[in-house]
Amino acid sequence: MKEPQIETPAKNKRLRSAALGAAFLMAMAAVGPGFLTQTATFTGQLGANFGFAILICIIVDIVVQLNIWRIIIVSGKRAQVIANEVFPGLGYVLSFLVAMGGLFFNIGNIGGAGLGLNVLFGISPENGALIAAAIAIIVLIIKNALKAMDITVQILAVIKIGILLYILSVMTVPYGTAAAHAFDPSNVNFYSIVTIVGGTVGGYISFSGGHRLLEGGAKGPGAIKYVNEGALTGIGIASVIRVMLFLAGLAVVTAGYKLYPTNPAASIFKYAAGNFGYKFFGLLLFASGMSSTLGSTFTSTSFLDYAVSDRAGVMFKRYRSSFIIGFIIVSTAIFYFIGSPAKVLVVVGALNGFVLPIALAILLLASHRQPIMGVKYHHPAWLTWTGWIVVAFMAYAGFRTILGLFGIGN
């Protein structure tokens, strides 16, 4: 039976701070370089119809994040520990899927930050990646790393939103067309849905906020209010950025410009505001790469912690810095020697879309098991039903995507 939490002003302030940090970590992880590439690519291909995928992404985000955050915090356990309690060994499978997806995404995150520095200062993308990796390692391993990470991510979020506001202010945005096609698309592309949902909701992103809030000390049914505050704030921030970037891309496409296949996101800013806009893109790309590197590294390495006791948790924390450094070094080395994985970001986003229904299904099963959640807890029926609807929809969309890749059903 779970012990009741005693609220004090100091504890309330600490948990609210943790919830805000978790919100920004999740939101910024969701809109990294992969999201920039995916959104620009599909907006160029589908035009206003991609707004439907953005709308689906926001709806799925609400259901997934509220479910996963709540289940993790009420149980007081990380997702992989919960999965092992649902079925022995399942947590290791989930950890492998999430960590591998996080690693591949981190190659793009580090590379994106390096390319951003290349645009801003003219240094090589490879050397820029080394600088970005060094900054990320420092932020994540210093004393009070969680607070440093929270502040860094929040500053990067302000930069990203400010840049997008400026770009939209200098463009003619077809708001009416975007809204009409978002609710009534003339073409539904399942690959774009699976990719954008996987790239901004699936994989490590699903668990980044919940694991951050748990590490901040929130656990048990008494912490549900912090779950709602953090998850809804993060969803709101990520949704605003998703819509803003889509509208910027749509404005460029409807003006008759063709996005560069090799770097579609950069061409949006260059068409919008010339070389000045291109420099803004460099700053946006650096901010996106850095914030997503922090989110991916923090969450992926948290999946190595299977501690179910305080003593085991201390053992993990002792070696966590080594895991973080190793994770970032491997990601950076792959980018440095292989190059920019722009296409990989799109493909890995789709793969994360396939992982999402599996991960969500595991936690939904756990949500109704008293040994995991506690005797007095009852998971809200609306979250259960909408959660299973998302599982079914994403499984169906993934199946349709596979058929489409093989030219079946088109």
Which CATH number fits the domain that encloses residue 21?
A: 1.20.1740.10
Q: Based on the structure, what is the number of domains in the chain?
A: 1
Residue 9 lies in a domain: no
Contact call for residues 80 and 370 (beta carbons, < 8 A): no
Rounded to an integer, what distance in angstroms lies between the CA atom of residue 272 and that of residue 274? 6
Contact call for residues 294 and 327 (beta carbons, < 8 A): no
Whether 230 shows a pLDDT value over 50: the answer reads yes
User: What pLDDT shows up at residue 186?
Assistant: 92
User: What pLDDT shows up at residue 223?
Assistant: 94
Rounded to an integer, what distance in angstroms lies between the CA atom of residue 312 and that of residue 208? 21
Whether 5 shows a pLDDT value over 70: the answer reads no
Whether 343 shows a pLDDT value over 60: the answer reads no
pLDDT digits (tens, 9 = 90+) for 39-66: 988 999 999 999 999 999 999 999 999 9
User: What pLDDT shows up at residue 1?
Assistant: 47
Whether 344 shows a pLDDT value over 70: the answer reads no
Residue 97 lies in a domain: yes
What residues have CB less than 8 Å from 169, skipping those under 6 apart? none
Residue 7 lies in a domain: no
Residue 1 lies in a domain: no
Whether 377 shows a pLDDT value over 70: the answer reads yes
Whether 310 shows a pLDDT value over 50: the answer reads no
Question: Mean per-residue pLDDT for 97-109?
Answer: 86
Whether 212 shows a pLDDT value over 90: the answer reads yes
Residue 6 lies in a domain: no
Q: How far is CA 377 from CA 3, 67, 371, in A?
A: 12, 14, 11
- Distance spanning both ends of the chain, measured CA to CA: 53
Residue 5 lies in a domain: no
Residue 2 lies in a domain: no
What's this model's pTM, rounded to 2 decimal places? 0.88
Alpha carbons within 13 angstroms on the beta-carbon side of residue 78 total 26
User: What pLDDT shows up at residue 276?
Assistant: 85
Q: Identify each DSSP E strand in 18-117 by its residue range.
A: none
User: What pLDDT shows up at residue 7?
Assistant: 63
Rounded to an integer, what distance in angstroms lies between the CA atom of residue 26 and that of residue 240? 14
Segments forming the whole domain that contains residue 325: 14-406
Alpha carbons within 13 angstroms on the beta-carbon side of residue 81 total 21
Mean pLDDT of the chain: 87
Residue 352 lies in a domain: yes
